[in-house]
Amino acid sequence: MTPEDLAFQRAPAPSARSLGVNRTLRHGQNFRPAGLALLGCALLTGCSTHSLSLFHPKGPIAATELHLMIIDVAIMLGIIIPTTLLVTWFLWRYRASTGRGPYDPNWSHSTAIEVVVWSVPLMVVAVLGYYSYKGVYEVNPYHPTVIAHRADGAPIEVDVIATDWQWLFIYPKQHIATIDELVIPAHTRVQFHLTSAAVTNSFFIPELVGQIYVMPGMPTEQAMLVSDPGTYRGFSAALSGPGFSWMQFQTRAVTERKFARWVAHLQGLPRHLTFSAFDQLARPTINVHQTPQYYSHVQSGLFDHVIEEVRMGKVFTTPMAMTAHM
């Protein structure tokens, strides 16, 4: 028995796809460095910002979020660094052993200093508050102003349904759906509607767009625009149970033309996604390798149907065997 079998044997129908051989996720197979090389690696990682995905936004929303982060840190450092220096200087100058500072055993009040120490943080908060307020509208998931004016043409609509523990992406206009793979055209506004069939997850593609909760029984929205074609990692950022660590998906941003070809290809596939087929795929499944699945002829209204079912009390129960003594 392989370890995989051991871990997931009690999962209902660990279908071939979830235990398949698709191991495409990795970049850099030589990840088993011997003892000493480790530290060197760490230093290298520290030196290059290549893997700091938050610093390499590929869309206006992620870029705005990074921009705000830089402003915030810069302002805060403006107060933190002087304070650190001040404290360090006091520690040095007024140390009892050999410090050279004068000793004033009863000095404990100065109105001038009090005024400064209350007003400086107040001013910082005022400035940061302004940027925070501005940022809230710029990247508002329901109506991000940073991409509102860039929307030329109709947006691509994607309905996202989180199950235990996979991502289902439905393209309602195109009547196609995918599992654990999101394909979108670059330079086009993408409009997401999100909900969950089981528990709460958080939808996140660090390089493209910040998080939004994906909650059962209610819809949320998110919008984004990809500026560079490429492949980006998306995943759930909120704990959703035993399969959470594997709840990832590839986001492929392609050209308009490629996207159209891809859609046409999927529309020709024989596998349909009806309401009852959804009930099959939504049962607890850990898709270890995020092997994508594709569906054509998605029964229309599936997204609303899932919300309605959950509201009526439908649950995809986690079997005891997947929890106890795993």
Partner 1 sequence: MLVHLQGPWTPLIGRLALNQIPYDNPVIVGAFIFSVAAAAVFAGGVTYTGRWEYLWRNWLTTVDHKKIGIMYILVGMVMLFRGFIDAAMIRTQQVMAVGPESAGHLGALHGYMPPYHFDQVYSAHGAIMLLFAVTPILVGLMNIIVPLQIGARDMAYPYLNAIGLWLTTVGAALVMLSLFLGDFSHAGWVGLTPLTELPYSPGVGVDYWIWAIQISSVGTTLGAINLIATIVKMRAPGMIWSRLPVFTWTAMATNIIGLTAFPVLAATLFLLTLDRYLGTHFFTAGMGGNIMLYTDLFWVWGHPEVYFLVLPAFGILSEIIPTFSEKPLFGYTAMVFASLIIAGASWMVWLHHFFTMGAGPLVNAYFSIATMLVGIPTGVKVFNWAFTMYRARMRFDTPMLWAVGALFLLLIGGLTGMMLAVPAIDFQVHNSVFVIAHFHSMVLLIAFAIMGAISYWFPKVFGFKLDERLGKRVFWYWVAGSIMVFVPMYTLGFMGMTRRLDYISHPSWLPLIALEEIGIGLYWVALYYQVKQIYVSVRDRRKYRAGPDAWWTTRSLEWMTHSPVPFYNFAVTPVVHARDEWAWRKEQGLTSLRPDRYQDIHMPKNTPVPLILGALSFALGFGLVWRIWWLSALSITAIVIALILRSFDSDTDYVIPAAEVERMERQGSGVSGTTDTGHFPAGHAAGKRRFRAARPQDQ
Partner 2 sequence: MGLPKIKIADLDTGAPWNNGHRTIDVAASGTTVLWDSSHHEHDAISTRTFGFWLYMLSDAMILAALFTAYAVLRHNYAGAPTAAQIVHPGYAFRETLLVFSSVFAFGLTMSALKQGSRAGVINGIVVSFLIGAAFLGMEFHEFSGLISQGITPERSGFLSAYYAMVLVHGLHMVFGLLWMAVMVVQIMRQGFTDNVVYRLLNLKIFWQFQAVIWVCVFTVVYL
* Cis peptide bond N-terminal to 165, omega within 30: yes
Q: DSSP character for 165?
A: S
Residue in this structure with the two tokens 């910082």, named with its chain if needed: 124
Element (H, E) at 248: strand 248-254
Binding of partner 2 at residue 311 (CB under 8 A)? yes
Closest to partner 1 by CB, 73 vs 264, is 73
**Triad 242, 281, 186: Cα angle to 5°:** 90
- Residue 149 as a binder of partner 2 (CB under 8 A): the answer is no
Residue 277 sits in the site that holds partner 1 (CB under 8 A)? no
The reply on whether position 108 binds partner 2 by CB under 8 A is yes
Residue 287 · residue 197 · CB < 8 Å: no
Asked if 77 interacts with partner 1 (CB under 8 A), we say yes
Q: For residue 235, state whether it binds partner 1 (rule: CB under 8 A).
A: yes
Q: Name the burial class of residue 311, with classes exposed (0-12), middle (13-18) and buried (19+) by CB atoms within 10 angstroms of its CB.
A: exposed
171: DSSP letter: E
- Alpha-carbon distance of 12 to 285, in angstroms, equals 7
Which positions from 80 to 109 touch partner 1 by CB under 8 A, shown as an x/- string? Answer: x--xx-xx--xx--xxxx-x-xxxxxxxxx
Binding flag, residue 308, partner 2 (CB under 8 A) = no
Binding mask 160-179 for partner 1 (x = CB under 8 A): ----x---------------
Give the residue with the Cβ less far from partner 1, 129 or 301.
129
Chosen from partner 2, partner 1, none, partner binding at 256 (C-beta under 5 to 8 Å by type): none
# residues contacting partner 1 (CB under 8 A):
131
DSSP single-letter state for residue 238: S
Interacting partner of 91 out of partner 2, partner 1, none (Cβ under 5 to 8 A depending on kind): partner 1
| 30 sits near partner 2 (criterion: CB under 8 A) | no
Please identify, using beta-carbon distances, which residue of 28 and 105 lies nearer to partner 2.
Answer: 105
List Cβ neighbours of 166 (8 Å cut-off, separation of 6 or more).
179, 180, 247, 281, 285, 287
Contacting positions for partner 2 (CB under 8 A): 106, 108-109, 311-313
